[in-house]
Amino acid sequence: MQPQIILLKEGTDSSQGIPQVVSNISACQAIADAVRTTLGPRGMDKLIVDGQGKAVISNDGATILKTLDVVHPAAKTLVDIAKSQDAEVGDGTTSVVLLAGEFLKQAKPYVEENVHPQVLVRAYRKAAVLCVQKIKEISVKIKKEDPKMTNDAAAHLKIEQRSLLEKCAATTLSSKLVAHQKEFFAKMVVEAVSLLDDLLPLNMIGVKKVTGGGLEDSRLIAGVAFKKTFSYAGFEMQPKKYVNPKIAMLNVELELKAEKDNAEIRVDNVEEYQSIVDAEWKILYDKLDKIHESGAKVVLSKLPIGDVATQYFADRDMFCAGRVADEDLRRTMKACGGSIQTSIQNLTEDVLGSCQNFEEIQVGGERYNIFTGCPQAKTCTLILRGGAEQFIEETERSLHDAIMIVRRAMKNDAVVAGGGAIEMELSKYLRDYSRTIAGKEQLLIAAIAKALEIIPRQLCENAGFDATNILNNLRQKHWSGCMWYGVDVMTEDIADNFVGCIWEPAVVKINALTAAAEAACLILSVDETIRNPKAGGEGGAPGMGRGRGRPM
């Protein structure tokens, strides 16, 4: 009898070969199916309830996949590309997953018929490169500003650029819950991003949510805004409006400590006790006097500001807010200048911030502190209004997509037409190209050309149109040279989406295509999964009798 060779630990689960590739492909298709129906303006939303019973309503591919908690190792790749698309360009996360799923689906019959995965991988890589070249070639660019330009021409260009950005933002928003208000929000988002400095830092756009009111009550504040913090008696007497105030930002507690919190001290008589209490008061008053002398009108602190301090400030026409969130205080510092102080000793002019207007206003049921006309960094705050909490949260995510798109489009202003137009054109290009080459590659490139049609097809299916019919019309149009024809979801027909102003930045499509092709290649080139029974979170091979009580 031959001796048995034991290579791996008992309980190790290993599966390999073509069945393994096919099973990975099926898992990825299941992921693509999960987000399929959310694509496009007529896409549906998903409601996901997590372990704690918290409900999330979303249309965003990345958010859905993140919340789904996928455990299949190969399918996780798709979750990762959705996340990376989200981080890189913000939008197009559903598209990237669908494309990757479709690339794999087209590869499946070839894998089953023993075409070597490496042949597929090579063809896929080539197709991706060709597509990117083609996008770069046909995307429409807006002229860059030129120092030699006359003032008039520059002003004209600014307007043109702004309308381009607004259109890109509107396209992104048109597939979201807030689609009805897309013009309103597109303007707001472009305005918000244009307030930032050249680096366009995302964290300089604060987003605050106040439930109640209508979506259109949302507003953009050119400066910092945050919710009124907890306050003590005396607060009502403080002025709530200043012009050109100095702002002191502190990380100091301005509160009397209850005696029992202090160190334990043995005292023999009342006088001694009184002196301890007096000392405590004196320390506090010293601090308050220093703040007052510094000339600050608005005092913000990360730590509590107690009742004595509140009344002290009220008597001297000053405003104070304690327990300001760290993030808000930082943003105020970036915007208004100055620095956050951990002691009161050095409250000189240069550590105080300033702004043109400070005001406390009512937003819905909440009071908000608002600083505008900030001299330093450029920052802004969106205050979102709306009914249900989930609704506002989805609005925030949608605006995040739009903000990312506008930032991307600002840096790199080449656009293509959406609604499946660019995908159809790429598909036609690849199909034409495949006819010029021989061998297996011809079929494989044609398979990718077919896979690209998934985007217009899905847009039609989600809108309830006859996909076969519309795709035939589109193929015919693109064949005759009309390259921006795509699905028109309003009229159940095809239309020139460039004229229809359904514009998307070219980077979104380039990134989506390369990421999807990369993911497909990655999954095709994996032909063995080995699961270590100890390391794997999901347990090893079933049936090994380790009895951990897990369902098998």
Ligand X SMILES: Nc1ncnc2c1ncn2[C@@H]1O[C@H](COP(=O)(O)OP(=O)(O)OP(=O)(O)O)[C@@H](O)[C@H]1O
Contact region with ligand X (CB under 6 A), list: 88-96, 100-108, 249-257, 343-351: 88-96
Does residue 93 carry a catalytic annotation? yes
Percent of the chain that is helix, strand, coil (3-state, to 5): 50, 15, 35
Contact region with ligand X (CB under 6 A), list: 34-42, 132-140, 153-161, 297-305: 34-42
Which of 29, 86, 91, 97 touches Mg ion (CB under 5 A)? 91
Q: Report DSSP letters for 220-252, one per residue.
A: EESEEEEE-----TTGGGS--EEES-EEEEE--
Contact region with ligand X (CB under 6 A), list: 57-65, 140-148, 352-360, 434-442: 57-65
Please tell me the distance from the alpha carbon of residue 370 to that of residue 321, in angstroms, as a whole number.
12
Please tell me the distance from the alpha carbon of residue 73 to that of residue 535, in angstroms, as a whole number.
13
Closest residue to Mg ion, Cβ-based? 91
Please tell me the distance from the alpha carbon of residue 170 to that of residue 181, in angstroms, as a whole number.
9
Q: CA triplet 251, 257, 260: central angle to 5 degrees?
A: 140
When CB distances are held under 5 to 8 angstroms depending on the partner's kind, the choice from ligand X, Mg ion, none that residue 174 binds is: ligand X
Query: Which value, to the nearest 10 degrees, does the dihedral of the CA atoms of residues 120, 125, 130, 132 take?
Result: 140
Please tell me the distance from the alpha carbon of residue 358 to that of residue 241, in angstroms, as a whole number.
6
Binding mask 41-80 for Mg ion (x = CB under 5 A): ----------------------------------------
Does residue 328 carry a catalytic annotation? no
| Smallest distance from Mg ion to CB 483, Å | 22
Strands 319-321 and 241-243: unpaired
Q: Is 461 in the site for Mg ion (CB under 5 A)?
A: no
Catalytic residue (choose from 38, 63, 93, 171)? 93
Pick between residue 170 and residue 250 the one whose CB is nearest to Mg ion: 170
Does residue 197 carry a catalytic annotation? no
Pick between residue 319 and residue 465 the one whose CB is nearest to ligand X: 465
- If one counts every other C-beta atom within 10 angstroms of the C-beta of residue 404, the result is 24
Tokens of 53: 């019973």
- Which of 226, 205, 227, 208 is CA-nearest to residue 384? 208
User: Do 374 and 245 meet the contact criterion of CB atoms below 8 Å apart?
Assistant: no
Which of 121, 131, 454, 487 touches ligand X (CB under 6 A)? 487
Contact region with Mg ion (CB under 5 A), list: 158-166, 175-183, 254-262, 430-438: 175-183
Q: Report DSSP letters for 130-160, one per residue.
A: HHHHHHHHH-EEPPPP-TTS-HHHHHHHHHH
Catalytic residue (choose from 86, 401, 413, 488)? 401
When CB distances are held under 5 to 8 angstroms depending on the partner's kind, the choice from ligand X, Mg ion, none that residue 210 binds is: none
Helix (H, G, I), strand (E, B) or coil at 123: helix
Does residue 401 carry a catalytic annotation? yes
Q: Is 101 in the site for ligand X (CB under 6 A)?
A: no
Please tell me the distance from the alpha carbon of residue 488 to that of residue 461, in angstroms, as a whole number.
12
Binding mask 393-432 for ligand X (x = CB under 6 A): --------x----------------xx-------------
Interface residues for ligand X in 159-178 (CB under 6 A)? 171, 174-175
Distances (CA, A) of 305 to 80, 140, 238: 45, 56, 14
Interface residues for Mg ion in 131-160 (CB under 5 A)? none
Catalytic residue numbers? 60, 93-94, 401
Q: Please give the residue ranges that form the binding site for ligand X (CB under 6 A).
A: 38-41, 43, 59-61, 91-95, 171, 174-175, 401, 418-419, 455, 459, 487, 489, 502, 504
Q: Please give the residue ranges that form the binding site for Mg ion (CB under 5 A).
A: 91, 172, 175
